[in-house]
Structure 1
């Protein structure tokens, strides 16, 4: 019985010291544990502007699918704009971009964006035989140097 009381007393003493030590470290350093922000894809505008390039994705609806408008105005290239309809799966927004370019309506191609840290980064990969869809979605490289950040939508 005496051994049990001594063991319990020692355990409480050790536990109490560890808790107090942790509190002292936080008080002395002034560092508090900060949780990383959680970013959620929302309805609104996501844009990149720089080096003469402007890319805008306006998400108008998020339900079973993500719907919106997408436009590219890249330096020294023809501008194009149209609609986007896709899905967000495992942080990858992938869908069909139907657009007008050089006065021609009804062009389509598949586009993909990686949703990470509150930004959408466009992905690139090998295209199928039609040249309008990705051949292997799992091998996309999200290497665009034009990440889209959430911004106010222009009226």
Structure 2
């Protein structure tokens, strides 16, 4: 009889410990999800320059950035795709993978985030493949005068 009672007590103690561990793990994951949600920022931006337009949407999670970018240059094919990069000191350095004229291409892009506006960097030069090259020193980057302005996301 004592053995049966001891066994039941042992099982109930083990069961209680397992339940507490499950609760703790559940609470920890909830805390992690809330923390990551707090560090995530999303925004949409639109730029109009003459008859040319561009749209940019960003999701910033700590220093990692993902989003979409679309250019509609007047009387030319549009190009649209995704950007993936990192944000450091309000400078976004990203890779832009896009479709244009039925072809898939990749190039680097750089943006400066300033409050409700985003400025696209002008390229310093082109490499041997004709792709833009940007200065590694953020202080030496030059930016387009017309910014992307924050808008409601579609």
TM bucket (normalised to shorter chain) is 0.5 to 0.7
Contact 1:92 1:115 survives alignment (8 Å):
yes
Query: Does 1:47 pair with 2:46?
Result: yes
Q: How far 1:102 moved relative to its partner? A: 0.1
Unaligned runs of 5+ residues in structure 2 are 1-39
C-alpha distance in structure 2 between counterparts of 1:51 and 1:89, whole Å: 31
Contact 1:128 1:135 survives alignment (8 Å):
no
1:105-141 per-residue CA deviation (whole Å, 9 max, x = no partner) reads: 2x00101111124211111122333333425332321
Query: Does 1:110 pair with 2:101?
Result: no
Distance 1:76 1:146, change over 3 A: farther
C-alpha distance in structure 2 between counterparts of 1:115 and 1:63, whole Å: 14
C-alpha distance in structure 2 between counterparts of 1:137 and 1:150, whole Å: 26
Contact 2:120 2:147 survives alignment (8 Å):
yes
Query: Does 1:130 pair with 2:129?
Result: yes
Please show how residues 2-17 of structure 1 align to structure 2 within 5 Å: none
C-alpha distance in structure 2 between counterparts of 1:46 and 1:135, whole Å: 22
Runs of 4+ in 1 over 2 A off after TM superposition: 60-64, 127-133, 135-140
C-alpha distance in structure 2 between counterparts of 1:101 and 1:133, whole Å: 17
- Point out the structure with the larger strand share: 2
Distance 1:64 1:121, change over 3 A: closer
Aligned to 1:153: 153
What is the TM-score with the length of structure 1 in the denominator? Answer: 0.64
What is the TM-score with the length of structure 2 in the denominator? Answer: 0.64
- Point out the structure with the larger helix share: 2
Unaligned runs of 5+ residues in structure 1 are 1-40
